[in-house]
Amino acid sequence: MHFFNVIRWIAWKDLLSELRSRENISSMFFFALIVILIFSFSFSLDPKTSKELMPGIIWIAFGFTGIIGLGKSFLAEVHNDCMEYFQIVPAPKGAIYLGKFVGNALFMLIVEIILFPMFILFFNLDVLEKIPMILLIFVAATIGLSALGTLFSALTVQIRAREVMFPILLLPLAVPIFIGAVEATRGVFSGDPLPLYLDWIKLLIVFDAIFMVVSFWVFEFILDY
């Protein structure tokens, strides 16, 4: 019970802090908005090309937006030595990781859900009836990115070159997530039958599970001696 309470407390704290400061969400949102605007003015896409290119454009925006948000995830914990409190508090370190992960995944999903209608609007996407499947892909990819991002944010937060190190560590490992997300999104946009892109969704789920389990286990060694 204490385990789940710790997750709830951490996620509650992160969401409440973000709701009040809006530091992360606003920087994530504006970055993604700029990406949408640049791409929408760079290409005038016909519907067929649009279906081919849009998955890549969407995941460039979401991926780099995620990097901005996730990279700052543990910065609030350094201020006033809060990270130290995580070390000495008699709470399972894995629960602390999961609490941070839940908060990060929710931030990313909120930004994605706000931004996706803008993609529809700017690129004339005709995907309204496919939204449940698109949401499923967003959730699956966001879980994987947040799982990795939360771990590497904790790992790099105390080092001087964290802004360089964070993407260097995150991006290579996040490649399967990006490939799975782009391919699955392309399948949905192209109107392919589910079996044709189901394997990509399965790939996302498998990597989600791997990243979650490994990060959960490794986090204790990052936080503790």
Partner 1 sequence: MAAIRGIELSKSFRHFQVLNRVSFEVKEGECYALFGPNGAGKTTLLRILATLHRPTSGRFEISGYDGLREKMKVRESFFLISHGSYLYDDLSVLENIRFAIGLRGGNPTHPEIKRALDRVGIGAFASLKSRHLSAGMKKRLSIAKAMLVRPKVLLLDEAYASLDERGVDMMNLYIREVTQEGTTVFITAHDRAKAAEVAQRAGVLNRGELRELAISELLTAHALF
Cβ atoms 4, 90 nearer than 8 A: no
Closest approach of partner 1 to the CB of residue 215, in Å: 20
Beta carbon nearer to partner 1, 11 or 115: 11
Our CB check for partner 1 shows the closer of 44 and 80 to be: 80
Part of the chain binding partner 1 (CB under 8 A), chosen from 3-11, 54-62, 106-114, 155-163: 3-11
Is residue 27 within the footprint of partner 1 (CB under 8 A)?
A: no
What secondary structure does DSSP assign to 66-131, as a single string? Answer: HHHHHHTTTHHHHGGGHHHHHHHSSS-HHHHHHHHHHHHHHHHHHHHHHHHHHHHHHHT---GGGH
Residues 6+ apart with CB under 8 A from 31: 61, 64, 65, 68
Binding mask 75-104 for partner 1 (x = CB under 8 A): -x--xxxx-xx-xxxxx----x--------
Which DSSP state fits 187? H
Return the structure tokens found at 127: 């995907």
Q: Is 41 in the site for partner 1 (CB under 8 A)?
A: no
**Least distance (Å) from partner 1 to the CB of residue 97?**
13
Q: Which residue, 14 or 112, has its beta carbon nearer to partner 1?
A: 14
The rounded distance, in Å, linking the Cα atoms of 188 and 184 is 6
* Residues counted in the chain: 225
Binding site for partner 1 (CB under 8 A): 2, 5-6, 9-10, 12-13, 16-17, 20-21, 76, 79-82, 84-85, 87-91, 96, 224-225
